Amino acid sequence: MICTSASSSSSAVIAAANKWYRKSVYYIDNVSSSVTENQMKDFIRSLSVRLVSCHAVQPRRWRRRPVNDDHSDDHGDGDGESDQQKTTAFRVYINSDDKTLLLDEQKWPVYVRRHL
């Protein structure tokens, strides 16, 4: 049986209980570890993105070492915390229709990465 949408007056009383939408999942990386989940949620919503969920996750390993402006050694800046530990990442689920809003480079700080 194939169901299609109908516009006849007899089907006017039939309505969907919920609107369904496709979700897309994005990984947001190289975010300062001081940023909380709530701050990230607020920021994404400020972009007019319909956010489904947002969770802090373990940052992935970088293939390239980040550039240090202070020319410190390979072990971080001497405070015992490596560059990997100074960053956090988020897994973000959004309405797929809003992907261009989320991926707009002009809205994000430089070096914060957003990808699938």
User: Hey, what amino acid is at 74?
Assistant: D
* Position 32 confidence tier, pLDDT thresholds 50, 70, 90: very high
CATH code for the domain of 103 = 3.30.70.260
At position 100, the amino acid (one-letter code) is T
Residue 103, domain member (yes or no):
yes
Q: Which domain holds residue 107?
A: 20-61+84-116
For residues 39 and 9, the model is more confident at: 39
Question: Token pair of 69, please?
Answer: 């402006």
Q: What would the pLDDT profile of 84-104 be if each residue is shown by its tens digit?
A: 568 999 999 999 999 999 999
What 3-state class would DSSP assign to 61? coil
Q: Average of pLDDT values for 66-81?
A: 50
Instruction: Supply the mean pLDDT for the chain.
Output: 81
Contact at 8 Å (CB) between 28 and 89? Answer: yes
Query: Which residue type does 106 have?
Result: Q
User: Domain for residue 79, yes or no?
Assistant: no
